[in-house]
């Protein structure tokens, strides 16, 4: 029930298109999305392959809720091996692609190989075709989508890459519906390496659930009592820009390449300033929250900027000009580039320049040069050629590793761990490198009542978050719906027609988390890699509540040891055979 | 007399502020005393304490027991999930 039990497998080297049954026993353990994508990738990829070679795969996975009326279930999970980190990479993207894939009859689309010339893939129910894409190559995401809508109709949903993906930039995105992204880890460059410009999908089939009358009642109740509540409605009312005020007030707002946690210009780029420029909103499929907030300022229209963009491409670059950030955001969306990583790269380049270590020709707050950067980087032109290598590689060549704000090659997002110690552990142990999507304990510490400057109980806090998100993103529910595991259990049991108790979901979350770890262990990642940039351990924050604070190295090490122990991993961070047996892996 | 300027976010913005209208800088809320606690402002606005995760006075995080004085800007946030 709710699965279509079919996988569409396309090999771009041979041009073959094949349909095969979805592995049923894997769905019982991994459900869909993040977990099922990881299971397929783990089984199908050899360790050590080059992420930008024909050996890598792109796995587009739906989940058991996709295409149903379960609230906030419209996202798609895309899994691959990251060219930025060499680790497993799963991104989720909002909009309507996932339900269309399910309506076309497929739970999953696996893309293998590498085309000789630029191509795009169209899926219209059973009709699956590989087309020449030479007329689309080099175009931005906005124009590519418009062109494909003309060719395939407005009802078709498009996933595509821009010039950054084509040029294999290590922080290129995949975009959809103009302003939505599978954003991190260079997922767009994997698509570019396959010379796959776009995937267009439309479907007209049913999705069935086991007990529709009950699901209708559950969904109605959930929307009324659990979705449209104080805990979630912030996403609709102000959206993520409301985090600017909290982050800045608690001193964890990355400012000038993480040199400070309080930004003098925060008032100019916070939710209050942005609210005045919002004409309308937008929602993903099956979503009652509608977190998509458009912004119009002068000649710029963009969905966003979201908190992470305001933090990394705003405060972290010393930029408090909202129009400039909106322009930067829109350009990155069109070029297909991650604003977190690019903002972080520019912050690093600005600090290197100001310290006289290497002149990249850009300084904090220099808006004119800043606005030229997205294009220069995406096309590897001028200084953009060097900057496109990312913070970790730049530091290897020019120095500055101690303030290269990355973990395992992925540039850090917008929460300073010196003012939220558990967030430091979350970054260090995240399955895709410096990422805030595995766990988000900053909400309990800097934005909540928990003391941010103690390690007591923090390892467990991070683990609970990681396991919770692992199952939530496998069922594919949106991050912005803070629902209980019991609600998940009720819904999944109703959809699948078999009892899935909360305890089973908790175990599945832990299983998915361990599988992600196993993938990374196979790629050679070890305890020494689970660390943070030296600045977090050594340079005290200057302002606000955490002024004078670092995350002391010994405290971090102690937290990490406790984390491994509670995970059932050995001292090298490898899941023990007993743990794997317990998880039936 | 203390007049503070209160901004509420997310679903908390639906709580009525009787004294004045928020024109972007917060709505004025007056108390006939020299200083008040954050907790008292929440009570006045009928905002349940458990619905509030984060309060800042003039852009600095504070507790619900913090004192507020005339002219302060208060930002009140609900618990948030996801980033």
> What number is the ipTM of this complex?
0.82
Please check whether residue A480 lies inside any domain of the structure.
yes
What is the reported pLDDT for B51?
86
Please check whether residue A528 lies inside any domain of the structure.
yes
Residue A305 maps to which CATH number?
Answer: 1.10.569.10
pLDDT tens-digit series, residues A553-578: 999 999 999 999 999 999 999 999 99
Does the structure show a pLDDT above 80 at B25? no
How far apart (Å, rounded) are the C-alpha atoms in residues A30 and A77?
Answer: 13
Contacts of A221 (CB under 8 A, 6+ apart): none
Please check whether residue A260 lies inside any domain of the structure.
yes
- Number of domain units in chain A: 3
CA separation, residue A143 to residues A172, A177, A334 (Å): 17, 11, 8
pLDDT (mean) for A216-241: 87
Q: What chain B residue is nearest to A415 in terms of C-alpha separation?
A: B83
pLDDT tens-digit series, residues B52-71: 989 999 999 999 999 999 99
Confidence of residue A524 (pLDDT cuts 50, 70, 90): very high
What is the reported pLDDT for B17?
57
pLDDT (mean) for A249-260: 98
A247/A380 same-domain check: yes
What is the reported pLDDT for A464?
97
Last residue of a domain, one of A186, A202, A218: A202
Please check whether residue A216 lies inside any domain of the structure.
no
Contact of B78 with chain A, judged by CB distance below 8 Å, is answered with yes
**Residue among A198, A252, A190 at smallest CA distance from A444:** A252
Share of chain A above pLDDT 90, in %: 91
What is the reported pLDDT for A291?
87
Q: Full-prediction pTM beyond 0.80?
A: yes
Q: Which domain holds residue A13?
A: 6-202
Does the structure show a pLDDT above 90 at A96? yes
Confidence of residue B45 (pLDDT cuts 50, 70, 90): confident
CA separation, residue A573 to residues A406, A518, A584 (Å): 20, 10, 19
A194/A259 same-domain check: no
Give residues 9 to 28 of B whose Cβ lies within 8 Å of A: 9-13, 24-25
Does the structure show a pLDDT above 90 at A21? yes
What is the reported pLDDT for A383?
98
A196/A239 same-domain check: no
Cα of A356 vs its chain's centroid, Å: 34
Gap from B81 CA to chain A (nearest CA, Å): 6
Residue B71 maps to which CATH number?
Answer: 3.10.20.30
Last residue of a domain, one of A386, A408, A431: A386
Confidence of residue A356 (pLDDT cuts 50, 70, 90): very high
Please check whether residue A562 lies inside any domain of the structure.
yes
Q: Which domain holds residue B73?
A: 2-78
What is the reported pLDDT for A292?
87
Q: Which of B10, B59, B60 lies nearest to residue A242, judging by beta carbons?
A: B10
Gap from B82 CA to chain A (nearest CA, Å): 5
Share of chain A above pLDDT 70, in %: 100
Does residue A81 sit in helix, strand or coil?
strand
Residue A577 maps to which CATH number?
Answer: 1.10.599.10
Please check whether residue B83 lies inside any domain of the structure.
no
Lowest-confidence region among A392-401, A561-570, B10-19: B10-19
pLDDT (mean) for B16-28: 64
Lowest-confidence region among A103-107, A228-232, A506-510: A228-232
- Number of domain units in chain B: 1
pLDDT tens-digit series, residues A315-334: 999 999 999 999 999 999 99
A32/A176 same-domain check: yes
What is the reported pLDDT for A503?
98
Contact of B60 with chain A, judged by CB distance below 8 Å, is answered with yes
A520/A377 same-domain check: no
């Amino acid at each position: 029930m709710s699965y279509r039990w079919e996988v569409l497998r396309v090999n771009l080297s041979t041009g073959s298109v094949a349909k095969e049954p979805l592995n049923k026993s894997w769905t019982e353990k991994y459900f869909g999305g993040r977990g099922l994508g990881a299971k397929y990738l783990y089984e199908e990829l050899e360790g050590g392959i080059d992420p930008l070679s024909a050996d890598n795969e792109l796995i587009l996975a739906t989940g058991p809720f996709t295409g149903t009326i379960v609230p906030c279930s419209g996202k798609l999970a895309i899994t691959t091996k990251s060219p930025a980190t060499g680790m497993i990479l799963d991104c989720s993207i909002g909009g309507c692609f996932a339900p269309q894939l399910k309506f076309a009859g497929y739970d999953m689309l696996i893309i293998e190989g590498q085309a000789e010339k630029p191509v795009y893939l169209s899926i219209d129910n059973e009709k699956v075709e590989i087309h020449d894409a030479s007329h689309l190559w080099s175009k931005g995401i906005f124009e590519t989508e418009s062109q494909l809508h003309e060719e395939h109709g407005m009802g078709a949903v498009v996933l595509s890459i821009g010039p950054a993906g084509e040029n294999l930039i290590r922080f290129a995105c995949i975009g959809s519906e103009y302003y939505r992204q599978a954003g991190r880890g260079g997922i767009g460059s994997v698509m570019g390496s396959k010379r796959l410009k776009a995937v267009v999908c439309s479907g007209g089939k049913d999705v069935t659930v086991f007990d529709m009358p009950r699901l209708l009642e559950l969904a109605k109740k959930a929307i009324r009592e659990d979705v449209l509540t104080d805990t979630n409605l912030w996403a609709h009312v102000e959206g993520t820009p409301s985090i600017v005020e909290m982050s800045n007030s608690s001193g964890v707002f990355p400012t000038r390449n993480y040199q400070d946690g309080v930004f003098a210009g925060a008032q100019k780029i916070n939710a209050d300033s942005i609210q005045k420029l919002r004409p309308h909103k937008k929602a993903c499929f099956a979503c009652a929250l509608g977190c998509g907030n458009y912004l119009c300022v002068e000649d710029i229209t963009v969905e966003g900027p979201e908190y992470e963009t305001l933090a990394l491409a705003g405060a972290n670059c010393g930029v408090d000009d909202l129009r400039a950030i909106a322009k930067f955001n829109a350009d990155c969306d069109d070029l297909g580039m991650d604003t977190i990583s690019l903002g972080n790269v520019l912050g690093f380049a600005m600090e290197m320049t100001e310290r006289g270590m290497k002149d990249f020709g850009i300084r904090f707050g220099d808006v004119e040069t800043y606005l030229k950067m997205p294009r220069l980087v995406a096309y590897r032109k001028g200084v953009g050629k060097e900057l496109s290598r990312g913070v970790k590689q730049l530091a290897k060549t020019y120095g500055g590793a101690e303030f290269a704000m990355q973990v395992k090659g992925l540039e850090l997002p917008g929460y300073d761990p010196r003012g939220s110690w558990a967030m430091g552990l979350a970054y260090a142990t995240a399955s895709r490198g410096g990422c805030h999507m595995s766990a988000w304990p900053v909400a309990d510490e800097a934005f909540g009542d928990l003391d941010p400057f103690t390690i007591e109980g923090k390892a467990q806090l991070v683990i609970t978050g990681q396991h919770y998100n692992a199952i939530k993103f496998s069922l594919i529910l949106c991050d912005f719906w803070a629902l209980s595991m019991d609600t998940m259990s009720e819904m999944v049991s109703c959809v699948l027609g078999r009892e899935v108790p909360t305890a089973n979901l908790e175990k599945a979350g832990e299983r998915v988390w361990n599988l992600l770890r196993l993938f990374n262990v196979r790629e050679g990642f070890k305890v020494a890699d689970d660390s943070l940039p030296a600045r977090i351990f050594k340079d005290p924050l200057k302002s606000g509540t955490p002024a004078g604070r670092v995350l002391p190295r010994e405290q971090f090490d102690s937290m990490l040891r406790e984390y491994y122990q509670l995970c059932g991993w050995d001292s090298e961070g490898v899941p023990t055979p007993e743990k794997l047996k317990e998880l039936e892996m | 007399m203390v007049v503070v300027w209160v901004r509420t976010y997310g679903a908390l913005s639906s709580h009525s502020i009787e004294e004045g209208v928020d024109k972007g800088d917060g709505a004025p809320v007056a108390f006939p005393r020299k200083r008040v606690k954050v907790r008292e402002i929440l009570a006045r606005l009928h905002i349940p304490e458990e619905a509030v995760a984060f309060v800042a006075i003039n852009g600095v995080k504070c507790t619900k027991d913090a004192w507020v004085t005339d002219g302060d800007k208060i930002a009140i946030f609900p618990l948030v999930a996801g980033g």
